[in-house]
Structure 1
Amino acid sequence: MGIQTAMDRITESASIIEAMRAADDLAFEAGRDPGVRTLRVLSAALSADDDLAAIAAVHALAEMNDEEAARLLSSLLSSPRAYIVEHAADALGRRPARPEAIGRLVRLVADGGFAGMLAQHTLEKWSAGAAELLAVALETACTGTLSPDARARLVETMGLVRHPLAVRPLRAWASDRSAPPAVREAAVAALGQRREPVAISTLEDLVVEGGAIGELARLALIDAEPAPTAHRADEGLTVAQLFLHADIDPSLSSAGSGDNGGIATLLVRLGDALVAEPAAVQRVLTLSRGTTAQAGPDLLRVAGGETGHVYGHIPLSAPPVTSAAAWPLRVSVRRGIRRLLRAAGRVDVLHLRMADVGSLAAADVARELGIPTVFTVAPDPHSVIASLERSGTLTREAFGPADLTEHFWFRTHLVQSLAASAAHSVFFPRPSLERDMHALVGIDMTSHPERHTVVAEGVDLDVVDRAVARARQAADGAGHTPAIAELAALLDALPAHRRRLPLLVTVGRMHRIKGMATLVQAWADGPLRDAANLLVIGGDLEHPSADEREQLDRIDVTVPAPERATRGLLLTGHRSNDVAAEWLAAARFGLPGRAESGGVYVCASLKEEFGLAILEAMATGLLVVAPDSGGPATYVDDGDTGFLTETADPAKLITATERALARAAAGDDGAAARARDLVAARFTIQGMAAKLAPVYESVALSEAELQRAAEQLV
């Protein structure tokens, strides 16, 4: 189409998402015709006011086999626009090493953050052809005046340089007891990636030292060992699943805290259901974040061939960071995932679900170990971008600064990359699934439909049914379970006149996407406050993350903490899935003298790809208020089992909630029964497992056929 036409498609596109997709064509045209005019068109875009066009031009420069284009791209590392620097650091990884750029990339690594991760990734790619230059540059940089964390990042990067020159400084840093702990730990972990005898000898000496360094050296020695022999071919399937940003355990004790949202609950229930199915899956390995102390025992269980649902922890430094801030952990995350998957002996399928650093690192490991992946494709952040653009919050002219914090460009391309490399793609139900996938993500689901499967998420109906039975008994005056007693104590803090009102309930993470503060504002500033009390379940209130703090600060502006109970607001923090289920059921039936029956569940999320908490509320018989796009629109019968609305509009959210409260007050048990029957028929965790097990089996069989074909050619 020509470079100018390709650029016009970006600048004249009707939406941000359309412009981002058109950037691929611009890059293709730049690579096809790397001439003087192409360079002029891209240079003009870099100096214009359209952030999208400028970012697209940066990535197009990387596709040009042209010395002048390469020099321009390198010079962008010194741009006064931070978002241009970030994208240049990423784009340079697709070019051969540029000596003049190494120093600036090293400085970005030292500075840390998302840009530092991108710069480190580029330097890792360059280490194949410029290892000596990188080793010298990194060692020299470490002699300067740096913070311990900055030095640790450079030491970690030195560990990625595959050259004997890197071994000597790594050994020195690892053995230096006067060095900051972060520096020593980075060096010890890096030595585990080396096979040189002197590196192994150093690690063995450090094991004797004991303490945190000794534990880490022991793990590094495991990393340095040859891969164990795979399990017998006649054993059942081993499926690995990953969600890095949660503390996942069988009891779901941290559900709703930090990033421990519905996905953490889902993976526990799903893993149990998969191994309980009379199907091919014999072992499920669920990976999440953890500590160095947990990593050793986990490896023993995994390597011992334990079947059933097994948990493995990837050791990360405390305190936990949010998913948005976790990108700089790419190398340590990759190392931890690799260690566990190698210990498993043979992993038949790795299921990835998020466009985050965990999936980025796991995809690298899967390629290295030859493990096929299944990827659950969701238009995230595509849906968020579209929603923010519709509301006027995000514009193409101000896209760059927004991208600095949200990493929209990188994450959308990561979704495309993970989907393209997956052996099979899984999709959530959506009202216009094929159209949305094509328009937002660029996936044609009609092409090779055998590689695409629509799978609804599911809830554990046994847990919900037990919760309903207990809440019904409490409403009839029977004794309280511990969960109901805890809720009763919370409600006792309300003024007497407010204990005659029903409950609005919401469950989820304290994150701006989940709309907790938005819901509190809509409730507090309008007629809803006089009609119901508001129960917000989720978040770590004692030690909030940055995302949780942002939501809590917004809530406190609307309802100051000392006034919460007086005004009818209850912030409980996170609770286990079982406790949350009982509280949802209690909102439906009420608690005598503390809460009226006829409560309503409200989800004020900016977007919900599926909405497990909404389904759990429906299964208890609660009427729900939910977003009118994404997954909920496929299962909420608007006006019957709930009300769909544009949750980003407070007025519409209030109106929908008022309608739901009025409907609930009328006591329509038929709607409750229909909601529960719908969940039982279509959205159980057992049904989800039954749908996924054949997918895993087909992927494993296809991979085995490919392996046999390859062996015949050797």
Structure 2
Amino acid sequence: MRVNKKEPSESLYVLLISVHGLIRGQQLELGVDADTGGQCTYVLDLANALAEHPQVGKVDLMTRLIDDPQVASDYAQPEEKLSDKARIIRFPCGPKRYIRKELLWPHLDQMVDRCLHYLRQQGRLPDVIHSHYADAGYVGRQLSMLLGIPLIHTGHSLGKPKQARLLSSGRKADKIEKQFNFERRIAEEDALIQHASMIVTSTRQEVELQYGMYAQADHQRFRVISPGTDTSRFSPPGRRAMPATLEQSIHRFLHDPKKPMILCICRPEVRKNIKGLLAAYGSHPALQKKANLVLVAGSRERIRDLEKSQAQVLNELLLDIDAYDLWGKVAIPKSHAQEDIPELYRMAAKSRGVFINAAFTEPFGLTLLEAAACGLPVIAPDDGGPRDILANCHHGLLVDTLDSDAIAAALLSALTDKARWHKWSKSGVLNVKRHYTWAGHVNKYVREVHQLLRKQRKNLRKQQAALHQGKSPIPLAKYAFITDIDNTLLGNQQGQLDLVEWLVANVGYNIFGIATGRPLESAIEILRKNNIPIPDVLITSVGSEIHYGLNRTPDIGWANHIRHLWRRDDLLKALAELPGLRLQSAENQREFKISYVVDASKMPPVKKIRQHLRKQGLHAQIIYSHGEFLDILPVRASKGHAIRYLSYKWDLPLANFLVAGDSGNDIEMLMGDTMAVVVGNHSEELAHLKGMPRIFFAEATHAHGILEGMRHYKFGSATA
């Protein structure tokens, strides 16, 4: 199978990634928790709208598979069809149970690996990857670097502005860090800003003020593409009566349900500022006399069963209602269905009420568009997206949501001027259709994607040094060839030329990789010096590092995997107590490798070194080679472990790997289910492997020995 090279006339394949929350094709459980809100609606609507575009052939929305009896079984389905061209794909990531997004960070590499497996099975790579929020951004960035596919990113909300607003509201820095994991999130947002080929925002203000808080944000890569509203669902009140059950769920709380509604729909989280809204309403009797307050703050069975932060918000809400004595004036329904949301907007519009978004910060504000489409005027934060939305739709007022008195004044003003209310209502309906449709969003999106891909193809034509052009060959290759460098790949000039000819003839069908004790920089330097093409995979520093291709993309999943039990400083101290060991030069020391030159007459046997480390509670892989080098690695790191990791990560059977080596540090790599080749000039350290299954000892030396081994195994041919 060759790497597909998409022609401009082919339809686009878009991979959307949104990791957290509860995402399904029908009846979204919006507000059920802090992670299931506007972003879930956005990515689902985007997937469906993209699938309807004639230039888009396939849309996959990748999210987390959740096998938890506490949530619907829908979220445990590996695949859900949305339309003929769109589907939701779910992969396990972390615990089976549903967890909040801040706890997902340690598990995201699983999502990366499972997506790689999935793409191999598909036989086609996406044209673009589009990640949503920082956690999916991490997954998308890894996939983008590994596969050579452009990354588009949408932040939805950003860590730095949110952190700043929470601090300004009086929250303690240590407490918000513990709850929101801002350090990890902001670090990933910084990395995304540097890597993404295109960053989609909803407003210009988001680019200038929110992303402007991050260093080196290149504004040329930002594209402002306003999201759409489904006007088939969100429309003004008609003659049809409101659903009786929904009306009853609101009216049962209220002494006078005929008064106008102040409607708030949001998740029960601190940044939504429900507490500030309630203070505004509770502190102003004139506002209480004028209107009822309807708070639709997620869905719940019992508050005590909710996640801690949500339960705290709702408990404080009930305490504040009691403190202000607002019983009979405030409605707080326990649950609502997705189809109830448009009806709630229409109910509020029919009562001549208003919708309020009182959040501390609002990157966009999808609810403001939904309200506008239903003819319901709004009060919104003077921050982020609402500024652009109200400038286009002219259907309400902006307010400083940190000031409860200002919120109350804006609400009262909106409710008392009837002529302006009607003007706002009509303007909202008209301008949503003019400025915010999904068809318009996707038309601009597809134009930007085509421009991005044309630019990428142009840049790739300039890069002639690589064996292949375009996307990485790894996901679609059938076989992998991994070789040591010194005295195996190199050492015979004619053999090198013959092997390079074989590599060029088999581009795309076979992965080319090296596994060496050299550090990355030294490996690349010696390959270039000998006119060897830069490999697809570089396993360096005796298997403690994995990088990919010309860009030297690091495999972060491998680094996270081998970090287990690794205590570098303690190992250095313990090994300093042993005779016959001298540290190699600084360039040979790495984060996950400690390297020594040894005096074999003084150095203790490897078995004794291992016992010495274990007595001190230390764990390490000890590799002794050529009678003069000793490498100390994490217990999970070695050339052999790295190859097995690649087999798992890229879903390529070990039996399809041909590996070649010549010395003791190749032993683990040569043993097992691979097609192993020992070149004719091997050291005595490998002599004991003769006669073992799947280990071929070539008569020819160096690269000619590798080619002899390839012929023996019929490697890379249809019969291999």
Return the offset for 1:351.
0.8
Give the Cα separation in 1 of the matches to 2:77 and 2:394. Answer: 50
| Alignment CA distance shift 1:557-1:318 (3 Å) | farther
1:310 matched residue in structure 2: 87
User: Does 2:250 align with 1:491?
Assistant: yes
Which letter maps to 1:335?
D
Return the offset for 1:297.
6.6
1:697 matched residue in structure 2: 450
Q: 2:51 aligns with which of 269, 275, 285?
A: 275
Q: 2:390 aligns with which of 626, 636, 642?
A: 636
The superposition leaves residues 38-78 of structure 1 with CA deviations (integer Å, 9 ceiling, x where unpaired) of xxxxxxxxxxxxxxxxxxxxxxxxxxxxxxxxxxxxxxxxx
Return the offset for 1:254.
1.4
Taking the TM superposition and a 5 Å limit, the aligned residue runs for 1:17-28 are none
Return the offset for 1:232.
6.6
Q: 1:532 aligns with which of 291, 297, 306?
A: 291
Taking the TM superposition and a 5 Å limit, the aligned residue runs for 1:72-471 are 235-258=10-33, 259-278=35-54, 280-291=55-66, 298=78, 308-316=85-93, 317-344=95-122, 345-356=124-135, 358-377=136-155, 380-391=158-169, 393=170, 399-400=173-174, 402-431=176-205, 433-434=207-208, 437-438=211-212, 440-445=213-218, 449=220, 451-465=221-235, 468=236, 471=237
Return the offset for 1:541.
0.9
User: Does 2:345 align with 1:584?
Assistant: yes
1:117 matched residue in structure 2: none
* Structure with the larger helix share: 1
Q: 1:688 aligns with which of 418, 438, 441?
A: 441
- Count matched residues: 454
The superposition leaves residues 558-590 of structure 1 with CA deviations (integer Å, 9 ceiling, x where unpaired) of 1359x98634322343431x320121012111x
Which letter maps to 1:575?
A
2:359 matched residue in structure 1: 605
Return the offset for 1:434.
3.3
Return the offset for 1:636.
1.4
2:373 matched residue in structure 1: 619
* Gapped regions of structure 2 (runs ≥ 5): 68-72, 468-720
2:261 matched residue in structure 1: 503
| Alignment CA distance shift 1:473-1:236 (3 Å) | same
| Alignment CA distance shift 1:427-1:586 (3 Å) | same
Q: Give the secondary-structure state (helix, strand or coil) at the position aligned to 1:263.
A: helix
Is residue 66–residue 97 contact of structure 2 (8 Å, CA) maintained in 1? no
The superposition leaves residues 145-180 of structure 1 with CA deviations (integer Å, 9 ceiling, x where unpaired) of xxxxxxxxxxxxxxxxxxxxxxxxxxxxxxxxxxxx
Which letter maps to 2:359?
S
Return the offset for 1:286.
0.9
Q: Give the secondary-structure state (helix, strand or coil) at the position aligned to 2:295.
A: strand
Is residue 459–residue 685 contact of structure 1 (8 Å, CA) maintained in 2? yes
Is residue 137–residue 188 contact of structure 2 (8 Å, CA) maintained in 1? no
User: Does 2:250 align with 1:472?
Assistant: no
| Alignment CA distance shift 1:332-1:538 (3 Å) | farther
Return the offset for 1:377.
4.8
| Alignment CA distance shift 1:659-1:694 (3 Å) | same
Is residue 153–residue 196 contact of structure 2 (8 Å, CA) maintained in 1? yes
| Alignment CA distance shift 1:641-1:702 (3 Å) | same
| Alignment CA distance shift 1:492-1:408 (3 Å) | closer
| Alignment CA distance shift 1:514-1:705 (3 Å) | same
Return the offset for 1:445.
4.6
Is residue 395–residue 428 contact of structure 2 (8 Å, CA) maintained in 1? yes
Which letter maps to 2:129?
L
Give the Cα separation in 1 of the matches to 2:366 and 2:28. Answer: 17
Return the offset for 1:635.
2.2
| Alignment CA distance shift 1:404-1:712 (3 Å) | same
Return the offset for 1:432.
7.8
Return the offset for 1:623.
1.2
Give the Cα separation in 2 of the matches to 1:323 and 1:229. Answer: 35
Return the offset for 1:245.
1.4
Give the Cα separation in 2 of the matches to 1:519 and 1:607. Answer: 14
User: Does 2:320 align with 1:558?
Assistant: yes
Return the offset for 1:299.
6.1
Is residue 50–residue 442 contact of structure 2 (8 Å, CA) maintained in 1? yes
* Gapped regions of structure 1 (runs ≥ 5): 1-226, 590-596
Return the offset for 1:329.
2.5
Is residue 77–residue 90 contact of structure 2 (8 Å, CA) maintained in 1? no
Give the Cα separation in 2 of the matches to 1:687 and 1:505. Answer: 29
1:175 matched residue in structure 2: none
Give the Cα separation in 1 of the matches to 2:265 and 2:48. Answer: 23
Give the Cα separation in 1 of the matches to 2:416 and 2:393. Answer: 11
Return the offset for 1:684.
1.4
Superposition CA RMSD, Å: 3.3
2:703 matched residue in structure 1: none
Give the Cα separation in 1 of the matches to 2:196 and 2:168. Answer: 31
1:90 matched residue in structure 2: none
Return the offset for 1:349.
0.7
Give the Cα separation in 2 of the matches to 1:427 and 1:413. Answer: 19
| Alignment CA distance shift 1:574-1:710 (3 Å) | farther
* Structure with the larger strand share: 2
| Alignment CA distance shift 1:565-1:690 (3 Å) | farther
- TM-score by structure 2 length? 0.58
Q: Give the secondary-structure state (helix, strand or coil) at the position aligned to 2:257.
A: helix
| Alignment CA distance shift 1:249-1:711 (3 Å) | farther
Give the Cα separation in 1 of the matches to 2:281 and 2:335. Answer: 19
Q: Give the secondary-structure state (helix, strand or coil) at the position aligned to 1:566.
A: coil
Which letter maps to 1:459?
T
Give the Cα separation in 2 of the matches to 1:334 and 1:606. Answer: 33
Return the offset for 1:428.
2.5
The superposition leaves residues 241-267 of structure 1 with CA deviations (integer Å, 9 ceiling, x where unpaired) of 122112222214312221110111111
Is residue 366–residue 373 contact of structure 1 (8 Å, CA) maintained in 2? yes
Q: 1:523 aligns with which of 281, 292, 299?
A: 281
Taking the TM superposition and a 5 Å limit, the aligned residue runs for 1:47-86 are none
Q: Give the secondary-structure state (helix, strand or coil) at the position aligned to 1:253.
A: coil
Which letter maps to 1:587?
A
Is residue 204–residue 224 contact of structure 2 (8 Å, CA) maintained in 1? no
The superposition leaves residues 653-679 of structure 1 with CA deviations (integer Å, 9 ceiling, x where unpaired) of 12211112223x457422212112221
| Alignment CA distance shift 1:428-1:707 (3 Å) | same
Give the Cα separation in 2 of the matches to 1:618 and 1:503. Answer: 15
**Higher Cα Rg: structure 1 or 2?**
2
